[in-house]
Amino acid sequence: MNTSEGPQASEDELYEHHKFIAAKGQEPLRVDKFLMNFIEYATRNKIQQSAKNGHVWVNGAVVKQNYKVKAGDEVKVLFEHPPHEFLLIPEDIPLNIVYEDDALLVVNKAAGMVVHPGHGNYSGTLINALLHHIKDLPVNSDERPGLVHRIDKDTSGLLVVAKTEKAMTHLSKQFFKKTSEREYVALVWGNMEHDAGTIEGNLARHPKNRLQMMVFPEGDEGKEAITHYKVIERLGYVTLVSCKLETGRTHQIRAHMKYIGHTLFNDERYGGDRILKGTTFTKYKQFVENAFKVLPRQALHAKTLGFVHPVTGEKMRFDSEIPEDIATCIEKWRHYAKHSQ
């Protein structure tokens, strides 16, 4: 369990960022590899350096990077940087603002931009940019300024940001009560069996890889998650789909699509960066690798966002164009599908 805590400065002014308890079914695994499965955006080199410096602890004792973590072990890692709540610094970073008034703004986030500061991303985030653009942003229940919802680093698309406490409360209720509209466009592996459907299955952290979410179809763990999908275009070994969220869980579309056997194209975390469908021909392999280069991230874009304005009561709906990298990748697949029939 991640219990990311406040600063616990040692004599070396280190900060405890993470503490994990290894699950009951944890098989012996090197501590550096174990932590790679738990700490988002951390490189193995950085974790190994922390171990070499004596900053990785298991059950209260310093361990080396080759220590084998076992079930029940308490693993801590300390870093020189303080946790994200101490890093809310305004930065002059350009924002693609689609709409703004006194209560809120809607931004079209580029792929590659992290939404809020955290381990490995101490600056350059959307929050840092927003704090420069707007003074005195209200904070949400996670103490994150302005955020009503969020999207992953490598997902592009629309986000609404609250500028006042009233807007924060009103918009948060809409997302909680599932009255907001969120439509994503995704390119997924495989030719989907049905033209439309609904994926239902509780989502919770994967017990062995905390950076992944896992579907628990029996509903015995996690939180309810519902995704409605519709095929936009079939492109042979991949399918372009529209996904509408009824709930908004972490990695919801990414985990749900993997669960039904249609992992997002080039989704590294969920295995979509491998050739999952197609032929064994060398030319096909080269084609897919070129498509990965054109789109070096998961093929997911938050295209449409709708909500009721917290002050005027007006229904607002915003739509964004599919970004160039996804559009180019789709066109490549369109051409390939046409000429491989």
Q: What is the pLDDT of residues 120-162, one digit of tens each?
A: 667 789 999 999 999 889 988 777 889 999 999 999 999 999 9
Query: Is this structure's pTM higher than 0.85?
Result: no
255 and 164 fall within a common domain: no
> Which residues are bridge partners to 317 per DSSP?
306
Tell me whether residue 220 is one of the annotated catalytic residues: no
Residues 242, 114 within the same domain:
no
State the total domains in the chain. Answer: 3
Q: Mark whether 270 and 332 lie in a shared domain.
A: yes
- Do 210 and 125 share a structural domain? no
User: DSSP state, 26?
Assistant: P
Domain holding 215, by residue range, is: 181-339
**Strands 74-79, 156-162: pairing kind:** unpaired
Catalytic residue among 12, 73, 101, 152: 152
Final residue before a domain boundary, out of 176, 210, 233: 176
Q: Are residues 21 and 74 in contact, defined by beta-carbon separation less than 8 angstroms?
A: yes
Asked if 326 and 188 sit in the same domain, the reply is yes
Q: How far is CA 57 from CA 48, 60, 166, in A?
A: 12, 6, 44
Q: Which of 176, 202, 229 is the last residue of a domain?
A: 176
* Share of residues in the chain with pLDDT > 90 (%): 61
For tokens 């350059």, the residue is 124
Task: Pick the last residue of a domain from 132, 149, 176.
Answer: 176
pLDDT band at 13 (very low <50, low <70, confident <90, very high): very low
Beta strands per DSSP E along 39-132: 56-58, 61-62, 68-69, 74-79, 97-100, 104-109
